[in-house]
């Protein structure tokens, strides 16, 4: 049997498309996740109104929705979620500091968020796949192994 060192063109195309999909999913969120990570936006107050919870086997996921109003009164949004909130983080009607970074339906706490990690992993995965496919391991950089002297 002869081993081949070439990969299938269909495999290359499929992985290229997968890498492009990963990049496509991550790229539109870049600005928002960077601003959210740094809590760089319009400061204000989030007033929680409703708690929404979903039960999973052995786990509960909750999020508070409510109203956001900027400190200067220029921005007022209702029906937004507070990122990172759960059942115990807020009480209905009790204001909490928040930052509007421009996300469609979400505001963030003044400490920012860790959403950037998922976006960075998606982009790094796409880059790694493309590098593997089109650059590959550098040939000739390793020294050949020298067989031990035989007596």
Confidence (pLDDT) at 144: 56
Confidence (pLDDT) at 5: 58
Confidence (pLDDT) at 6: 77
Under 8 Å between Cβ of 83 and 36: yes
Under 8 Å between Cβ of 25 and 119: no
67-99 confidence digits (pLDDT tens): 999 999 999 999 999 998 989 999 999 999 999
pTM for this model (two decimals): 0.74
Confidence (pLDDT) at 1: 47
Low-confidence ranges of the chain (pLDDT < 70): 1-5, 138-151
Domain boundary assignment for the chain: 11-39+113-131, 41-112
């Amino acid at each position: 049997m002869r081993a081949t060192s070439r990969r299938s063109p269909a495999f290359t195309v499929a992985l290229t498309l997968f890498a492009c999909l990963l990049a496509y999913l991550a790229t539109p969120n870049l600005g928002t996740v960077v601003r959210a990570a740094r809590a760089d936006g319009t400061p204000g107050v989030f007033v929680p109104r409703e708690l929404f919870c979903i039960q999973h086997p052995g786990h509960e996921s909750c999020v508070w929705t409510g109203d956001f109003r900027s400190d200067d009164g220029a921005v007022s949004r209702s029906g937004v979620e507070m990122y990172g909130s759960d059942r115990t983080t807020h009480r209905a009607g009790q204001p909490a500091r928040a930052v509007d970074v421009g996300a469609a339906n979400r505001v963030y706490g003044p400490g920012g968020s860790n959403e950037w990690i998922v976006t960075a992993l998606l982009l790094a995965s796409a880059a790694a796949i493309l590098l593997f496919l089109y650059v590959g391991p550098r040939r000739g950089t390793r020294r050949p192994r020298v067989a031990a002297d035989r007596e």
